[in-house]
Structure 1
Amino acid sequence: MLIYGRNPVFEALRNGEVLEVLVAKGIEPRVVRELEEYNIPLKFMPRIELDQMVGSTQHQGLIAEVADLHFSDVDDIFDLAEEKGEQVLMVLLDGITDPRNFGAIIRSAEVLGAHGVVVEERRSAPLSAVVAKTAAGATAYLPIAQVKNMARFIDQLKEHGVWVYGAAGEARMGVAQVDYARPLALVIGSEGDGMRRLVREKCDELISIPIQGKIQSLNASVAASILIYQAVQSRSK
């Protein structure tokens, strides 16, 4: 698989996942020196050829050939929380099919302190170069798991003492009223339709982000970031 953009490429290099790096001719010498430190084959090519390879001009002069991205096991999410000595905090995505939203949520989850992201097999954007680019390297550090059925997975989480809160604009409970100290999963639905009915019904509570402006909705990745931040900050207090 090809990934592109400087942050994703250098994160992959640091994790030993890169087979070869394709470099735009004329790129800054300091970038070449940094690449050479990893002792990975470099292939210099005209920038327009890199554009054509990934169908984008947003590669910043670097494309890396890596093994395909793969999903983690759900247990890896719990293991990460245990390593940090924290109650688990995971993000469940119900119908996020835009790869840029998917990547942005992965990036926010890793940066803000969640322990993993879970998607459903049939209702998610695939792990792709676009996701890796938007996640800016976070895919190397954050477990991303896939389940066959989100509603059944929520039942399993509850059996293990995990509380499940779904984001819904019309919910009466605001984000400041939630008890974040317990093991927790936050559900983010698709921007167009929100959570599916069965997933929604499986949640312990529905929560909303207070809206002050005229527009009554937030981008899914922005909503996820706010909820993760609120949870982590509440726990720190």
Structure 2
Amino acid sequence: MSSSRERNAPWKGGKKGPQRPLNRKQDNVSDEWLWGWHAVSAALGNTARKAPERLLATADRTKEIEARFGRQKVLETLDPQVIGNHLPAGAVHQGVALRVPHLQAWGLDAFDAKPGAVLLMLDQVTDPQNVGAILRSAAAFGASGVILQDRHAPKLSGALAKAAAGAVDAIPSARVINLSRALEELAELGWRAVGLAGTAEKTLNQALNGEPTVLVLGSEGEGLRRLVAEHCDELARIDMPGGFESLNVSAAAAVALYEATRTRS
């Protein structure tokens, strides 16, 4: 006996018996995809990327892709709903989705510790929307790169890449196992670390001095962990005369990057 859900499903086919439901997700739904026009077009234009595995697009997006990037061997022109069936529920794909190998992470020694250079380090910031927004701000303000903790950071794909609006391919990123050791290595390479903490005595403006600087941000709930904070050269707070105690971590990153840009200028 079939269930109510089975009886009411919108089947194709009719007389010869039920076939696959129209709205059923495909078996290969994955969060490894990139979706959204900015994320996909940035990935297609990034020569550091390996060749894409699949590229799904609506008819209009197919024309845009071919006009901008030429013919793509893996391009499939599909209806918007069919594209959505390959993606997590709720993904706003804007008519395009790309499955491509992840970018290779940078080593810490690849970042040039030149005067005015700024890196961001994220201490257990795990929300994909926040990390995506931080990458976008880092690219906008000319940061040298972003350092993530390998086991406590989301993959640079899916919703994160959509929120980053192309910044995943515009800003270098590194993944490290231990942030404290990474700060020690960066110090040997000429970087100075400033950790953001709401209880710090100095303001960020007072702590920045134009030297190559790693801005270290903690998660919204816990802030910087003790060992990470102890490996910073200084702790500083964002001056907030309005009286609020803290900002969303992505907003704090944008403010910190703006302050660093002013110091650099």
Residue 87 (structure 2) aligned to one of 31, 54, 58: 54
Q: 1:161 to 1:74 in 2, by over 3 A?
A: closer
CA contact (8 A) 2:135 2:171 kept: yes
Gapped regions of structure 1 (runs ≥ 5): none
Matches within 5 A, 1:178-197: 178-197=207-226
1:10 is aligned to 2:20? no
Judging by fraction of residues, say which structure has more strand: 1
Q: 1:67 to 1:122 in 2, by over 3 A?
A: closer
Q: Is the 8 A contact 2:207 2:234 kept in 1?
A: no
Question: What residue is the counterpart of 1:33 in the other structure?
Answer: 63
How many residues are treated as equivalent by the alignment? Answer: 227
For 1:132 and 1:44, locate their aligned partners in 2 and report how far apart those are by CA, in whole Å. Answer: 22
Asked if structure 2 preserves the Cα contact closer than 8 Å seen for 1:73 and 1:143, the reply is no
Q: Are residue 150 (structure 1) and residue 179 (structure 2) matched?
A: yes
Alignment of 1:49-198 (within 5 A): 49-55=82-88, 56-78=90-112, 86-198=115-227
Question: Residues of 2 paired with 1:62 and 1:231: CA distance?
Answer: 36
Q: Counterparts of 1:34 and 1:46 in 2: how far apart (Å)? A: 16
Residue pair 2:109, 2:189 contacting (<8 A) in 1 also: no
SS of equivalent residue, structure 1 residue 15: coil
How much has 1:117 moved relative to structure 2? 0.6
Give the Å deviation of 1:141.
Answer: 2.4
The CA RMSD over aligned residues, in Å, is 1.9
Deviations 1:166-202 (A, max 9, x none): 0111111112212331111000000110011111111
Letter in 2 for 1:154: L
Show structure 2 runs of 5+ residues with no match: 1-31
Q: Which position in structure 2 is the counterpart of 1:219? A: 248
Aligned with 1:54: secondary structure?
Answer: coil
SS of structure 2 residue aligned to 1:100 = helix
Report the Cα distance in structure 2 between the residues aligned to 1:120 and 1:65, rounded to whole angstroms.
24
Partners of 1:167 and 1:104 lie apart in 2 by 18
Query: Structure 2-normalised TM-score?
Result: 0.79
**1:19 CA displacement:** 4.2
Change (3 A) 1:13 1:4: same
Letter in 1 for 2:34: I
- Separation in 1 of the partners of 2:81 and 2:182? 45
Q: 1:110 to 1:9 in 2, by over 3 A?
A: same
Shift of 1:58: 1.1
Letter of the aligned partner of 2:98 in structure 1?
A
| Residue type of the alignment partner of 1:10 | S
Deviates more, 1:134-143 or 1:92-101: 134-143
1:44 aligns with 2:77: yes
Equivalent AA in structure 2 for residue 60 of structure 1: Q
SS at match of 1:93: strand
The CA deviation at 1:134 is 1.5
State TM-score, norm by structure 1. Answer: 0.88
**CA, structure 1 residues 48+212, in 2 after alignment: closer, same or farther (shift >3 Å)?**
farther
Question: Who wins on radius of gyration, i.e. which is larger?
Answer: 2
Secondary structure of residue in 2 paired with 1:53 = coil
Instruction: Please give the secondary structure, in 2, of the residue aligned with 1:101.
Output: helix
Query: How far apart, in 2, do the equivalents of 1:33 and 1:49 lie?
Result: 18
For 1:99, the aligned partner's letter is: P
